[in-house]
A and B are shown apart, each in its own frame.
Chain A
Amino acid sequence: MSTALRHSERQIPDRLTRPAARALKSWESLLAIVAIGIFVLNAWASPYFLDPWNLSDASFNFTEKAMIAFAMAMLIIAGEIDLSVGAIIALASTVMGVAMTAGAPTPVLVLLGLGTGLACGAFNGMLVARFGLPSIVVTIGTMSLFRGISYIILGDGAFTGYPDSFAWFGQGYVFWVITVELVIFTLAALVFGVLLHRTSFGRTVYAIGNNSVAARFSGIRVDRVRFILFLLTGLMSGIAAICLTSRLGSTRPSIASGFELEVVTIVVLGGVSILGGSGSIVGVVLAALVMGLVTFGLGLLNVPGIVMSVVVGALLIAVIAVPRLWAMARAKSRKR
């Protein structure tokens, strides 16, 4: 058979560029350079910046948001989005506040925080995966719904007086300047990094984001994956709610308002395509650091809060535009 002859004729190489060479030219390395640049700039602009305790304090600028950003990154890679994360924090915090007032001990508060996050995530996930509603519409709805419940329960009031042991999550240190939140952030980065890049589940997330129809035709349980991703985002929002409530020591219904936009900004800045299908956890980690450094640097320079939000807004627009320009520039250089 002549075809048998042909099999051995050509050998397709596994890869043309080594993964390391590719990484050098990636968005992530650009981000790393930017992070180092801002770090140096901050150190040069303010004598207080390099103090370890100051830096440790500054990490609160991003740790809570970044925890959610890891889960959100996977959701966006799969072509979905969750805009209710800030509202999930508010609801979880409120539930913990109610339990605290009733005299629940810290472990119960933690379980309630996690449970509320999971329940909210399951609700979002069910509406999207089970009933096929678009996630942007669903989560804009649940954004008002979850926070609305907090407002009904709390009105103008606030819960204060959390037990001392509860303060550990948002105010404690594991050793020296390393905060508990920083440790949670690092662990979450590792877990999500492995989940997205090293497991079959992570692979199916990319497949769904690139072509959900073909993914379904490849025997992937697309709806189940989507549901799990919403569940994970809810869980991470619950963890963030515990940290934030513990750090502030109080719950107001306006807690974590605007979080969703900052989380999405971190994800997009991290190089995750807002259209789905591509991105990495390393990028999200770097983006979180960049965001944290920018906010902290501006704070050190006594830039007023209003200007700060202008800067963050400009950053959000820039990060949507810059990756496009970057891709266009690369496409051009490739042509030559």
Chain B
Amino acid sequence: MITVTINGTKITFVKPVTILEAARAAGIDIPTLCHHDALKPYGGCRLCLVEIEKVPRLQTSCSQQVSDGMVVRTETEKVVEARRAVLEFLLINHPLDCSHCDKAGECELQDLAVKYGPATGRFAESKRKYPENFEDPLIVRNRERCILCSRCVRMCDDVQGASALCVANRGSKAYVEPFSGGRYDCEYCGNCLSVCPVGAITSRLHRHGYRPWLMEREVATVCSYCGVGCSLVLQVRNNSVVRSVPGTDPGFNKGILCARGRFGYDCVNNGDKLSVPLMRRDGELEPVTWEEAITHIAHRLEEIKRDNGSDAVAGIISGRCTNEDAYVFQKFLRGAIGTNNIDSVAGLAYGPAQRFFERIFGQGVTANYVHGISNSDGIFVIGGDPTAVNPVLGLQIRSAHKKGVPVIVIGYPGGLKRFSKHTFITSSPAETVLLAALVSEVRQMKSFPGERPAFDEIISGLQPVPLKSAAEVGRFGLNELIDMANTLSNMTNPSIIIGRDIVQTSTGHMNLLFLAALAYLLNGKVYLLSELPNEQGLLDMGCQPDMLPSGRPLAIESFRKRCEETLGIVLPSTPGLDYAEMIEAAHVGKIKALYVMGEDAALSLPDTNYVRDALRNIEFLVVQDRFLTETARHADVVLPALSWAEKEGTYTNLERRIQLTRKAVEGEGIEEWKIISEISKILGLDTGYRDVTDVFAEITRISHIYREVTHDHIAGGKCMWPYGGGPLRHDAHIEGVDLPDIISVMKNSEAGGVHVRREAHLFHSQNASRFSPALQSISPEPYVKMSEILADRLSIRSGDYVKVSTEAGSITLAAYRDPCLPENIVLIPPFEKGGIFEVTKWKVNPLINVPVLDGSRATIGE
């Protein structure tokens, strides 16, 4: 027990805390500047000085810990005097340009100067002068205003882990800058902006447009860029989003955002957004009224259904739609059209992966807390760079690494380069061989947990693969591989983090089996990276060709019947087509009508040409979207939709946490679920929803997993799986899992050539980032990354243009040399133009029904 007396009040602590924390606990305010709750104590600004009895000099309360019997005074004459002097020093060089500083009104220095500062300074010397730096597209740096508290540098180093900033030079000539001195070229999380107490680093997006006291509204909502689902607050003025800042409560991102959440909000205000429905007349898309458009759609769908049967109609939905939109969409296709032809982007990787793990371990096995990652004793990452796909989740890995937790990365490490001692990059068949070898290795070191005897049997039946073979096939050093395998075998509760690149391959089904085996043998928790905010929600809502809401198989008649009774509709019983099958069916003219909700199919699937042909082949294409996307350009009718900031709804993130998205501004479109309801009504199915809460109420009646959920529950931020009920883990259904033929994979992987692999991109997140000028400005140009050896052989320098050709097509891209890549791998991110999908041939892995990205060998030239 530690008892301290602060300003005469006695207060007792069990564990040591700083004087500042103690004072706060006692309700006493001590001014601070360099201190920030998210950062470690620094003791640099000297503003928080306090007097301690028996200690001759004033001490910084933010860094000094309390000890038993300590007597502290925070407001003595000496303290007040020192505080005033510190502020006077800080203001020697700080310009007094509050009138046009974006920080005015929420500037800590301004507030402190008003509260404690001297009325005038005594320094007659002229102030330090530096021009403001506008070299960066997003961040303006003003060195004159900087008070060198180093909060930004510590944020970037210790929390973000990007380490893109430094204090350059020293003494009075010191200032903060990124390496280049101009452009930041960093991760653009903007977390440095959040912690800067003054206006030294500000966002260009709202330059001279943000005044805290002029904000009309602050709306707490969820980010709509990825499946992490960070809390954020949209600040609104004149019906436009002026700024997005991280939410602190009840958010689990705790004041942190990534670039997309921070700067991507400008897609809401983008002037190119659609405001009226468009219909194709004489080959051109022309504006029409809502009524015309909706009647026309209903009429055409009716016709096609009559002439070609219900199964000639299909629907695809985007992972950016809310649960309510998704639920109504599948109900419409099933109930009003009579088809199970419904799927989404979640069907391309996230869904099949989840389905595989749930089959073995039971429903909800991937519903693990993001925060759990940094508490595990090992991290195994495969199939995508989490710091690019799900950036705020990625930070958990970085912080675990800092605590000494071993991190293994299979695949391009991207933002984990400095955070893993074990990285293995190779072709995708060689990855499968590596996984097979790791399972063999771990099996020798660990005994079976015995929980699932059927799975024990499968694992026992796997062909053993020696590490040596994996090293040969993958061109790895054997010693490094042995070292990694030992590290892996020593883990007792690892986080196994899986991205889509391991699923979208010809051997994706084997990879999933090996990963399940590793998770089982190592007692691991499985996390599935999710590129879109509501992939999980789409699955839960039944936007799958063979599943009804809450992941109940269509084939289970009792559940189907119960749904039919509750809803008073008839559900088609034969499974529909999945996303890949729809594209193939469209190609051969089997799909006559396709309803696409918010998804840019033309640009999110491999083999752009093939997909474009399929879309062209569709007799009647309806696209509901915020912008005239590539897919919308092929449509017969385009309906303007609303962005997530313009409507109410719910998202379910990759932890299966349900969160509310709230309306911040009025949009010009109509809510997706409402449009669908209108069409549905004409087709004879009146949904009867008055508002979004009616839809949600129906979801909770239909879905046994959402049954206990209420809006209050969600608003509290703790709506975590399994929601109200008990755990739903049921026994595994692992009959029919084929034992992989690893020998033929090994043979196949020996073929030479250059493999093209996908690089997940932090600033390019499918269709939303394309309409965010801010995100586009960071890294607008498509590129290919290659090894130094390959580049040397072809005499390519970074920045040169090279042609990458495969059997699917060829594109010319800027080349970048990356020393961490092996010779036979090049990386291309999924840019809209010049992206990887233009050089991947259409091919589907029939065992998990996903279009794959491997299999094409590239030639690099010119």
Partners in one complex: no
